[in-house]
Amino acid sequence: MTLETIWFLLWGVLWAIYFVLDGFDLGMGTLLPFIAKNETEKRTIYNAAGPFWDGNEVWLITAGGVTFAAFPAAYAALFSGMYTALFLLLFALILRGVSFEFRSKVDNDSWRKVWDTCHFLGSFLPALLLGVAFANIFRGIPLDAQGVNQEGLLQLLNPYGLFGGVLFVVMFTMHGAIWLAIKSGGDLHERAKAVAIKTWPVAVVGTVLFLAYTSIETMLFNNYMKNPLLFLVLLGAVLGLISVRPALGSGKMWRAWTSSAVFIAGVTLFGVIGLFPALLPSNLNPAWSMTIYNSASSPLTLKIMLGVALVMVPIVLAYQAWVYRTFSHKITQEDLDYKEAY
């Protein structure tokens, strides 16, 4: 296996980890105005994400950093070609981060409503934009021979791109509802569980339709037809989604969340593997695609990066495992009364 291939796989795994971990944050933020009935329930949602959301976004920064360092030509084409969409994504994420910090600074209902709206927009828009971006990458971007995207933001909002955006919102909403059911009690727990149950069939139908649309609109299935063993990745995603429902029905919320995580990771890896060896396929001419070979850094750079990753990634994973274990309990009134609570 070449260094380029190793980094391509790591790139896909980093995105999968990010979507699994920040997906529930984004899902809970999207649900905030619809599921929380009073101030205590709103604060429960904020504090259910509180110890995790900024650590989860480390994986977004890492995935972006790997794109820059391992595949700089693809990074340049991606960030210049989708500049407006990525700017909106970063602005929305900043808006969400600020809402955590500012919401409780002033004891005023109007002030809190402003930041609740910011939190919703900062959660819903990233979910939608990430789905639109990845669906367009799967579909192919109109890159010319110089690696310049010939279209703008509006062209990204094509039917397939929007379908991908909606599917991401549905996936993250179900994931977030399950996490909220884990972290809350009483009426909010029951409401969150009911939302997860109602969202599940939407996710099933959406996934089936998206896969059918993908077979028509993209070349992703080519790699799978050449090597049918790769279908095991897609099978894992399907089994993950199917197993969410019985776990919800039996009230085993951690099992439901794990199944949802397998589903999200499987969907991500399905798309990434289908792209190989392209990072940014060109739908104008396949020869103009940004691949792992024509956009990679030097072998020395990739070797140094691999050494750093082998040391640092396990440390980050161990730290995050400790955080999740420490804050795995349900949010109680004592948590809300804590002076550092949101």
DSSP per-residue string spanning 90-101: HHHHHHHHHHHH
Residues 6+ apart with CB under 8 A from 144: 150, 282, 284, 288
Torsion of CA 271, 274, 275, 277, to 10 degrees: 140
Mean pLDDT of the chain: 92
Report helix, strand or coil for 50.
Answer: coil
Report helix, strand or coil for 141.
Answer: strand
Closest alpha carbon to 185 in 59, 48, 318, 341: 48
pLDDT in tens, 41-99: 999 999 999 899 989 999 999 999 999 999 999 998 888 778 888 889 999 999 999 99
Confidence bin at 268 (pLDDT 50/70/90):
very high
Amino acid at 342: Y
Closest alpha carbon to 149 in 32, 297, 289: 289
Query: Burial code of 48-76, b = ≥16 C-beta within 10 A, e = fewer?
Result: bbbebbeebbbbbebbbebbebbbebbbb
How many CA atoms are closer than 13 Å to the CA of 338, on its beta-carbon side?
12
Prediction pTM value: 0.94
Confidence bin at 291 (pLDDT 50/70/90):
very high
Torsion-angle region of 251 (φ positive above 0: left; ψ -120 to 50: alpha; else: beta): left
| Domain layout of the chain by residue ranges | 3-329
Query: Burial code of 313-325, b = ≥16 C-beta within 10 A, e = fewer?
Result: eeeeeeebeeeee
Q: For residue 185, what pLDDT is reported?
A: 92
Token pair recorded at residue 298? 């030097």
Over range 231-252, report the average pLDDT.
95
Confidence bin at 301 (pLDDT 50/70/90):
very high
How far apart are alpha carbons 170 and 239 in whole angstroms?
17
pLDDT at 164 over 90: yes
**For residue 282, what are the β-bridge partners?**
141
pLDDT in tens, 303-323: 999 999 999 989 999 999 999
Structural Rg of the chain based on CA atoms: 20
Place of tokens 């367009």: 136
Contact 331, 47 (CB under 8 A): yes
Over range 12-30, report the average pLDDT.
95
Least confident of 12-26, 70-84, 239-253, 254-268: 70-84
